[in-house]
Amino acid sequence: MKGKRLTFGFVMDTIISWADFGYYQSMILSGITEFTEENDINLICFVVGKLHPYEDWENSRNIIYEYIDEDKVDGLILLSSALETFSADIIGKLVKVKNIPIVTIGQSFENYYSVSVDNSTGMKQVVDHLLEEHGCKRLAFIKGPEDSLESQVRFDAFCDSLKSHNIPVYDELICKGNFLITSGVEAIRSLIEKNIEFDAIVAANDIMAVGAIEELNKHIRSSLHEVPVTGFDNVDINRGNILTTVNQPCYDLGKNAAVILQKAINGEKVEKNVMLPSEMVLRSSCRCIPGVVRNTLLAKEYIEDECNNIEFNQFKTIVISYMKAINESIELFDSSFLDELLEYEEDVIGAFFAEIDNGQKNEFLHKWNNLLLFCTNNRINIFFLHDIISILRKFIIEYIDKKKYGVMLENLFQAAHILVSEGIRRGGSSFSILSQDQFSDLIMLDESLISNMDTHEQMNLIEKHIYNYDINRCYISLYEDSQKPMDYSILIHASRKDKKFDTKENGIRYETKKMLPDEFIEELCSKKFNIVVQSLHFGQYQIGTCILGFDKMVNRAFEIIRNRLSIALNSALMVERIKNQSNELEKLVVERTKELSIINDQLKAEIDRRSDAEFKLRKILEELEQYNNQLHNQSIRDELTGLYNRRGFMKLGYEQYNKLKNSKSGFLLFYADLDGLKQINDKYGHSAGDEAIKGFAGILNKSFRDLDIISRFGGDEFIIIAIGACPDDVNAILERIQNNSDQYNKNNNLPYIISGSVGSAYYDPQINTEFETLIKLADEALYKAKQYKKSLVK
């Protein structure tokens, strides 16, 4: 696959949120990408799973390791700290590439080059700062994964700093974590529920620190809000929260790794293990003035003399009236925030006078930062705070001795303006780079893929939508045999942003390890390229690969498309397999019928004298077969609606449940009943009631797919199994039922309205709920839905 240019491989564990939140992986990739762009080098990103994952399904992504070999890349960058800490396992996965240079990021292994960060120094700086500058004594620490070397180094540095200050490490203050935002939330929740005292939170990374701040903010009017919180990494997600952290030069990690790899490929002398420095970044989460503000303050010290005699309440009443007018002009996600917003603004006014009157340094900026944080957390556009500052300045200057306090006033107002501007600039980076139109289109693509059971149509949908998400090329392949995925694959879609390639009616067959057919490799290598190689899988079931091209960055759409495409293709292939089996069976029946016809003709010629008896016997057999078929249909089909009856559903439902359970696949079970059947029977007669039941059955039949199992469970109750559906699909399915009900009522102009109530339950293969329990859960959800409808009528 390698062409004239050098080709770098980058092995890492996830692409979720790349370029959306500036996560660790995203920032490292940006450093690698910039170097490859500057030096005209191809880049292949291999997205694999952790070797010892928390979730079993992540193992399915490890098939991507099989694609990494010396025919595709000239050198490899391995994000080892995110993948695994057991070096032997990683080395075992890379046997095929042992003859090319490998650079690891985060950990160093024998025979490999490495780039890492001095985690210890930065963490010690943060802990020393909390102990010495803020006088903290009981510091809670939120750890990273137990098997992470970086996590352990950061925790050891935390302990060393405490010991050097003669402060014990309290076991009850050490919280487990996994570098995810939820573990930060859970750590604070646990500390509070257990009534454990703490005066600072130190998190092993920024994402957990943000989770801790979110949980602390639920107590935002209490003393908990005054607790300093620090993180580690300095990724963009923290800046909207103004988080004190340790700057880990992730971009430099990626770029240094790329520089080392190029030199190693060219045979140049390279330092084997490079360690980059880390340093503390002070921001407001530990109640310090951020550097961006501190550097703008004028040199003159605060004046601590008594201020003019000001009628504070009169001043406050005037300013608050103006603030209210400004508040009412801004767009709020929830209007109930208005009162609380005003409370924060009143705190700012009080803090201002406390600072100039009582000499409480930094009190104004601290309360101002609380206001800024409240707005950020509640999705309030903070531009209006510039107007708040202007109002404060206008009225305060009229009451304050400008000769005495002029410098101090300008310092405070300038600092407040800068905090708002910095929050806008940095907080903006925490929003997804996907536009609203892109998100809407992504939802449409998702729904269309899931509802379409034909692979050709699914590929048409991909071609129509794929290039709305900063993707410049797309290749989709299916494994010929899912049990032997590395033998052969079928390329079913290939396109660039400006061109669709012909993949023929049934796709193009090629050896899987090549990653693409020869002619497509040649076309790809004709120009510089950046591609992401991802696994298409459904649970443990291997489906194929998805290769997407990009210019300089990728976004969360890459992973969302891979995920939804995996689910859609799995469903389509399941339907296709069923159809093929049916066609094969029909073919065998035709062939067997021909054979029987010949035999019958021969027998007829030989025993002509028995023709009458044979005819009668055949007639009896045909009638018997029809009778048997009729009996079978009567036993599993509902006579009124034509749907499966209770017996049919329990038989087919159990079969489908066991099949999905064995494949560790999820599905939705819906329990529905017809609203108001008794009233229809009482007012219009039972024949109208029967028609209403048939009408509702037709609505359900139209709202679900052919592969779904729909049954009339009894009376006006219906149960449906939606195969391959997940909780995210519930609202869309309920909306289809409602739309089809509305259309039915409009078309039939009946004297009554056909509508139903629906409850659902999800079979999670990780939980392994029994089938009867699942039905009971859906029935309980139906009951709640009916109660909710009744409450609306009241």
Residue 262 is predicted with a pLDDT of 95
| For residues 609-630, average pLDDT | 63
Residue showing tokens 């029994």? 770
Query: From CA 184, how far away is CA 205, in angstroms rounded?
Result: 10
Nearest to 459 by CA among 336, 572, 369, 381: 572
Res. 17 pLDDT band, cuts 50 70 90: very low
Q: The tokens of 701 are what? A: 């039949």
pTM for this one?
0.58
Portion of the chain with pLDDT greater than 90, in percent: 42
Question: Model confidence at 296, in pLDDT bands (50, 70, 90)?
Answer: very low
CA distance 338 to 329: 11
Average pLDDT, integer, range 404-411: 68
pLDDT (tens digit, 9 = 90+) per residue, 312-360? 677 778 788 888 888 876 755 456 678 888 888 888 888 877 777 666 6
Residue 75: the pLDDT is 92
Closest CA to 245 of 16, 79, 24: 24
- The answer on pLDDT for 223 being more than 90 is no
DSSP string, 24-72: HHHHHHHHHHHHHHHTT-EEEEEE---SS-SSGGGGGGGGGGGG--TTT
Mean pLDDT of 173-198: 92
Of 98-112, 141-155, 438-452, which one has max mean pLDDT? 141-155
Sign of the four-CA dihedral 549, 554, 557, 558 = positive
- Tracing tokens 């859970």 back to the chain, one arrives at 186
CATH topology of domain 639-793: Alpha-Beta Plaits (3.30.70)
Which of 238-242, 623-627, 642-646 holds the top average pLDDT?
642-646
pLDDT tens digits for range 444-475 = 787 788 778 888 888 988 888 888 888 999 99
pLDDT tens, position by position, 652-678: 999 999 999 999 999 999 999 999 999
Give the per-residue pLDDT at 629.
Answer: 58
Given a cut of 50, is residue 145 above it in pLDDT? yes
Chain-wide mean pLDDT for the chain? 82
Under 8 Å between Cβ of 504 and 492:
no
Q: How many CA atoms lie within 13 A of 179 on its CB side?
A: 19
Identity of the residue numbered 331: E
Q: Which helix (H) or strand (E) holds 403?
A: helix 402-428
What integer pLDDT is reported at residue 354 of this predicted model?
77
Name the β-bridge partners of 500. Answer: 495
pLDDT band at 430 (very low <50, low <70, confident <90, very high): very low
Give the mean model confidence (pLDDT) for residues 499-528: 93
Nearest alpha-carbon partner for 577 in 710, 478, 449: 478
Bridge partners, residue 719, by sequence:
671, 711
Spatial contact of 281 and 246, defined as CB atoms under 8 Å apart: yes
Note the pLDDT of residue 76: 92
Q: Give the pLDDT band of residue 613 (cuts 50, 70, 90).
A: low
Residue 702: the pLDDT is: 94
Whether residue 718 has pLDDT greater than 70: yes
pLDDT at 538: 87
The rounded distance, in Å, linking the Cα atoms of 755 and 692 is 9
**What integer is the mean pLDDT of 110-136?**
91
pLDDT value for 90: 63
pLDDT of the residue at 372: 81
What's the confidence (pLDDT) of residue 431?
37
Q: Kindly indicate the confidence band of residue 592, based on its pLDDT and cuts at 50, 70 and 90.
A: confident
Structure confidence at residue 727 (pLDDT): 94
What residue spans define the domains of the chain? Answer: 1-100+456-606, 119-252+271-286, 305-428, 609-636, 639-793
* Mean pLDDT, residues 237-261: 80
Most confident region among 271-275, 330-334, 354-358, 424-428 by mean pLDDT: 271-275
State the pairing for strand pair 473-479/488-496.
antiparallel
Q: What's residue 299's pLDDT?
A: 35
- pLDDT at position 213: 87
**Which has more pLDDT, 708 or 557?**
708
Strands 75-78 and 102-105: parallel
Measured CA to CA, the distance from residue 163 to residue 315 in angstroms comes to 51
pLDDT of residue 443: 76
CA distances, 780 to each of 260, 400, 645, 671 (Å): 61, 66, 21, 9
Instruction: Domain 119-252+271-286: give its CATH architecture.
Output: 3-Layer(aba) Sandwich (3.40)
How many angstroms separate the CA atoms of 86 and 667, rounded?
36
**Mean pLDDT for the stretch of residues 189-217:** 91
pLDDT of residue 346: 86
Looking at residue 191, what is its pLDDT?
Answer: 93
A 10 A CB-CB count for 249 gives 20
SS3 assignment for 361-394: CCHHHHHHHHHHHHHHHCCCCHHHHHHHHHHHHH
pLDDT of amino acid 399: 63
* Predicted pLDDT at 429: 37
**Which of 286, 159, 296, 173 lies closest to 231, judged by CA?**
286
104 token code pair: 């690891």
The amino acid present at 676, given as its one-letter code, is: G
What is the pLDDT, as a whole number, of residue 95? Answer: 58
Q: What pLDDT, on a 0 to 100 scale, did the predictor assign at position 555?
A: 76
Please tell me the predicted confidence (pLDDT) of residue 418.
Answer: 78
Distance between CA atoms of residues 765 and 681, nearest Å = 42
pLDDT band at 202 (very low <50, low <70, confident <90, very high): very high
What's the mean pLDDT in 494-513? 93
| 51-78 per-position pLDDT tens digit | 766 666 667 888 998 899 888 999 999 8
Poorest-pLDDT segment among 79-93, 403-417, 569-583: 79-93
* Contact predicate 500/463, CB 8 Å: yes
| Spatial CA neighbour of 22 closest among 207, 208, 151, 213 | 207
Pairing of strands 488-496, 508-511: antiparallel
Q: At what angle do helices 646-662 and 611-636 cross, to 10 degrees?
A: 80
